[in-house]
């Protein structure tokens, strides 16, 4: 999946969300996955993950990055950006941190609030 970085320039009010977008889109491109997500916790640490699809386990990238972050004992989430397939279980993020910024980037590079 190719996403133009020009489409992402100035798409975010917070430059830290721009960094998450770069992480998510580069992880998506590098991995060849259908979806990738980047998460920033309340201390500024970042995490990335891709979707998992096997007979034994299915997670979208948002669920996967949430699990990775929880393993590091996060106390809060500031932002999540996911790229690729639009369907993701974002409720898990909203339930944990209602004020977290949450964005989706589609194949054309368009950014929407999730």
Tell me the pLDDT tens digit for each residue of 59-110.
Answer: 999 999 999 999 999 999 999 999 999 999 999 999 999 999 999 999 999 9
Domain ranges of the chain: 5-113
pTM: 0.91
Tell me the pLDDT tens digit for each residue of 19-35.
Answer: 999 999 999 999 999 99
Q: Which CATH class is domain 5-113?
A: alpha beta
Closest by Cα among 42, 4, 37 to 104: 37
Helices marked H in 1-114: 5-8, 15-31, 61-71, 91-96
């Amino acid at each position: 999946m190719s996403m133009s970085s020009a489409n992402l320039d100035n798409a975010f009010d917070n430059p830290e969300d721009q960094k998450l977008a770069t992480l998510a889109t580069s992880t998506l491109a590098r991995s060849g996955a259908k979806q990738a997500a980047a998460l920033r916790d309340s201390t500024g640490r970042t995490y990335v993950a891709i979707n998992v699809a096997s007979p034994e386990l299915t997670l979208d990238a948002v669920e996967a990055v949430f699990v990775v972050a929880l393993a590091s004992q996060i106390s809060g989430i500031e932002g999540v950006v996911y790229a690729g397939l639009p369907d993701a279980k974002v409720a898990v993020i909203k339930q944990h941190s209602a004020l977290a910024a949450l964005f989706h980037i589609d194949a054309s590079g368009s950014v929407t609030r999730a």
